[in-house]
Amino acid sequence: MSRRLPVILLLVLLPLWLAASYGARYGFMEDAQWVGLCVDDASRWECLVRSNLGLMIHFGVLGWAALAAAVIGFVWPGRAGWWLAVLALVFGFPALALYNTTLAVFAVVIAGLRLVRASRDA
């Protein structure tokens, strides 16, 4: 496997992940159709998912998870730290799209800095 393959996959998959996050925001959380459906029948599984996602947004779960993974990944040496930075981006991009920008912006910057940092063995 090429050394650049994970980076190329990351550059292809992260924009798709960000687009899916914005799709969840505008197509699921802010769409008037879902608001009306969930007011009428809150016991539907879609409404329960929407409600739990709203609680995750309210408590900043994605932002805190991204920030924790980014900080740990920044100080952790080797490939494990690199993968923690990738995990921080996986949590950080939806947090940016889903109203947790205060925490997520720091997480994405820290994770990005970790990803571009030269390894010590190079």
Averaged pLDDT, 75-80: 92
The residue written with tokens 């923690």 in the block is 84
Over 90: is that where the pLDDT of 120 sits?
A: no
Q: How confident is the model at residue 119 (pLDDT cuts 50, 70, 90)?
A: low
Residue 91 near residue 65, CB atoms below 8 Å: yes
All residues at 6 or more sequence positions from 73 whose CB lies less than 8 Å from its CB, including other chains: 80, 81, 82, 83, 84, 85, 87, 88, 110, 111, 114
The pLDDT score that the predictor gives to residue 5 is: 85
Which pTM does this prediction carry? Answer: 0.88
Q: How confident is the model at residue 1 (pLDDT cuts 50, 70, 90)?
A: low
Averaged pLDDT, 92-97: 95
Per residue in 29-44, pLDDT (tens digit) is 888 888 888 888 888 9
The whole-angstrom separation of Cα 25 and Cα 53 is 10
CB burial of 67-88 (b: ≥16 within 10 Å; e: otherwise) equals bbbbbbbbebeeeebbebbbbb
Over 60: is that where the pLDDT of 64 sits?
A: yes
